[in-house]
Structure 1
């Protein structure tokens, strides 16, 4: 696929079940999505994310209200953090930083500085994002404001990277407000339905989460697998992407699309070749 733009929606705090190393982080039994869903039971519905394959990620252990669909329109899998650190920002660094020929840098700055395309970051204040000197940072304080900016940017025929870090889910998870978490996910689901209609055929949409935080557990953040969904409007049938070993696979995919030169020391592996 000849992609010209990658759009990353970071549903920060959304985990899909305890990771293989959860015992090292006091996270045995963690399941952000599952514990959120049980509050509403079968009334829990995320129709857009469900069509994209969110429920298929948990085909062996379905989330209530999110059964696997027979023909998902997205490519789906789950992804873990490889970093020994488990914080709200370590996932971002792992996702976007890579080892270039001479030093560690980020795909965010590199595609601007080396290739002259855009990097636009929509977020509340995050030190990692604000330190991307080549990127345009659009500050927002609510998800409604963030999704408004996202739609405004998506309809422009720009090339490059467009990243939006949603805030509502992480804020509600941090306070243990599971009802607020549900509302935040439903809001994202509604905006995704609109976003799908706005995408260009040369856009790749990636939906993931930079960290997990199960509101049902006392520890923050929780060590969980994270969702991974890739959607391409010109590819109406998706398939499984399996279990990815590191969030760096997201950055590696972006890097391959824009032709960045990764060192052999980089830990990420692109899934671009699996989108067909």
Structure 2
């Protein structure tokens, strides 16, 4: 007997809630994305997140904990060895990543890889370093437009990113080059989690703007996840944002691309107004991409406030037999040094209009609580080799 007919899992990408016990091993000291955002701004208005228990997870300067939440709240620890998007999302759906994906933050990509990429694509590579996506456009886009060269760069994530001007380089040519890069980076020594096409428009410095035609070429998950189990059982698995890219389409029945995190919430609200049976899995990337990596706590706080406004609409849209889970995939403390993600525990907020109880949950030992709880609700067995235990009987 299903407890909920529809489950919505919303990932506030990078909204960590405090350092984990092993954060020092990842170079992260005293990090706390949510808490430090609050400390860095004068005002922080999140009434809907507050009533779900968000302010009970870590002290917030402007927001008091709630005495009686509308649902259940707690935090989850990451079991996998990593602090990146794919590791976090794959673990949510049951996969423990024991070997971190390769990064080339300090060195850029090896000459052998660059040489093969140039030969296969027909474009000379420029860049080949870790950089901000907006800064590298101001630096190198004029050269790319004038010469047809190809901007390749990385970040603190396990990614190879290629920029292409939609008017001069061409979108299809950019995608072709990214497919070649994905093939090359399947080699163990070059294996990155994602190759990302970064299209942009504009003609001169100060005018360049990335477009929503981004496309991620991710590794396929190394095993079956809760998403596969749900799909194989005939349930709907609707992805919003970059979820489909993160799982390379595995276990997804319908994929919606988002132009922004606000747009992603609008799509989620629209989906909640439809009739479906299964899971709606949402990633809202702007918290991470626009504010966390750019170390902008003020921008991050405003993004959370915009999310909270949309959350109010979604809460009013939910049906009696819906379950909403709000979480994150890692931290990205915008007050910390560097531009990297931070190793943190993440929120786990659960609410349904039909809930009779509320309160704090014990901290979960893995993000996979989410996939296991979802599968349990629908009476679906988790695939062999997955991790995680359900808390379905605790959130009633």
* Same fold flag (TM > 0.5): yes
For residues 57-68 of structure 1, the aligned pairs below 5 Å read 57-58=57-58, 62-68=59-65
Native 8 Å contact 1:124 1:141 kept in 2: no
1:173-188 paired onto structure 2 within 5 Å: 173-188=292-307
The 1-side partners of 2:320 and 2:332 are apart by 34
Aligned residue pairs, count: 268
The answer to whether the Cα contact below 8 Å between 2:83 and 2:331 also exists between their aligned partners in 1 is no
Determine the C-alpha separation between the residues in 1 that align with 2:282 and 2:26.
27
Tell whether 2:14 aligns with 1:13.
yes
- Tell me if structure 2 keeps the 8 A contact 1:73–1:236: no
Look up the match of 2:312: 193
Instruction: Give the counterpart of 1:204 among 323, 330, 339.
Output: 323
Q: Distance in 2 between matches of 1:256 and 1:20?
A: 29
Change (3 A) 1:74 1:93: same
- Structure 2 gaps, min length 5: 97-221
Runs of at least 4 residues off by over 2 Å: 124-131, 262-267
Q: Indicate whether 1:88 and 2:85 are aligned.
A: yes
* Aligned-residue offset at 1:164: 1.2
Pairing of 1:1-276 with structure 2 (within 5 A): 2-41=3-42, 43-58=43-58, 62-97=59-94, 104-113=223-232, 115-124=233-242, 127-132=245-250, 134-171=252-289, 172-219=291-338, 220-235=340-355, 237-262=357-382, 265-276=385-396
The DSSP-based 3-state class of the residue aligned with 1:38 is helix
Q: Distance in 1 between matches of 2:262 and 2:33?
A: 22
Aligned partners of 2:337 and 2:319: how far apart in 1? 42
The Cα shift of 1:51 comes to 0.6
Please identify the structure whose Cα radius of gyration is greater: 2
Higher relative contact order (CA 8 A, sep 6+): 1
Is the alpha carbon distance of 1:26 and 1:126 closer, same or farther for their aligned partners in structure 2, counting shifts above 3 Å?
Answer: farther
- Distance, in Å, in 2 between the alignment partners of 1:106 and 1:224 is 23
> Matches of 2:395 and 2:251 in 1, distance apart?
31
TM-fit CA distance, 1:127: 3.3
Q: Deviations over 1:13-48 (max 9, x none)?
A: 10111111111111111010111111224x222110
The more displaced of 124-133 and 236-245 is 124-133
RMSD of aligned Cα (Å): 1.9
CA distance in 2, matches of 1:223, 1:251: 21
TM-score (structure 1 length as normaliser): 0.91
Unaligned runs of at least 5 residues, structure 1? none
